[in-house]
Amino acid sequence: MKDTWEASQAGVLVLPSGRCIRGRGLHYPLPPGPLPEFGVYLLGKPPPAAAWESRWVRWPDLRLPADHSDALDALTEAWRRAESERVEVACMRGVGRTGTALACIAILDGVPPEQAVIYVRRNYRRRTVETPGQRRYVARFKPQDA
């Protein structure tokens, strides 16, 4: 049985496949409701310890991941696990890096790269994917066999 997010919960992006992934900012209090079962944290330094399984992707603010293959692996793991688990992706404010990661996850889910930023802006946050470099990263994102 699926134990994923409810589509109506704060910050939840519903992907075309029906998978739900929560985006959030670590700077803000944890939203009410169930806890994640897995998190991918996009920060320039290691995140604080979490009570659930998590993965850190070194990704400085307003920039791109330091290791692109590590980022691809982490985002693919998040996408796969979101089929049956509560997965969240987060940076400090939940906008630029989180939106960029969510757009890449949307590509893994079948959204064409040229539409991924628009999809995430419509369904997660209007001003997400903040920099031209982040938009180029999404446009060039190439998933392996997901």
* Domains of the chain, each with CATH number or no CATH: 18-139 (3.90.190.10)
3-class SS at 2? Answer: coil
Average pLDDT on 79-85 reads 97
Q: Which of 29, 13, 63 is nearest to 43 (CA)?
A: 63
pTM beyond 0.85: the answer is yes
Q: Report in angstroms the alpha-carbon separations of 121 from 73, 96, 105, 116, 144.
A: 23, 11, 13, 9, 24
**1, pLDDT greater than 50:** no
Is the separation of the CB atoms in 4 and 17 below 8 Å? no
Confidence category of residue 143, pLDDT binned at 50, 70, 90? confident
